[in-house]
Amino acid sequence: MPPPFLLSPINDAVFKMIFGDSHDIGHLTNFLKSALTIPPEDYEEVFLPDPHLMRDGWGDKLSILDVKLKTRSGKLIDIEIQLVDQPDLRERIVFYLAKMVTEQIGAGEPYRNIQRTICILITDFKLIAENTSYHNRYRLHDAASGSEFTDLLEVNTLELPKLPRNTDGSTLWDWMGFLKAKSKEEFVMLAEKNPEVKKAVAKLMTLTEDEQARMVADARDKMRWDIESRERAAVEKQRLEIARRLLARNRPVEEIIEDTGLSREKIQSLLH
Tens digit of pLDDT at every position of the chain (272 positions): 455 578 999 998 999 999 998 888 999 999 999 999 999 999 988 998 765 554 444 444 445 678 999 999 999 999 999 988 888 899 999 999 999 999 998 878 899 999 999 999 999 999 999 999 999 999 999 999 999 999 999 999 999 999 999 999 999 999 999 999 999 999 999 999 999 999 999 999 999 999 998 898 888 888 777 766 777 777 788 888 888 888 888 888 887 788 788 888 888 787 76
Look at residue 1 in the predicted model and tell me its pLDDT: 47
Q: Of 80, 19, 16, which is closest to residue 46 (Cα–Cα)?
A: 19
Nearest to 122 by CA among 195, 31, 191, 213: 31
Cα pseudo-dihedral 50, 181, 1, 15, rounded to 10: 0
**Amino acid 272: pLDDT:** 67
Which pLDDT score, from 0 to 100, does residue 222 have? 84
pLDDT at 155: 97
The rounded distance, in Å, linking the Cα atoms of 132 and 232 is 28
Quote the pLDDT of residue 53: 52
pLDDT of residue 52: 55
C-alpha span between 34 and 19 (Å, rounded): 14
The reported pTM is 0.81
Q: Quick one: pLDDT at residue 49? A: 76
Beta sheet of 117-123, edge-to-edge order: 67-70, 76-82, 117-123, 148-159, 135-141
Contact status, residue 87 vs residue 63, Cβ threshold 8 Å: no
Q: What is the pLDDT of residue 259?
A: 79
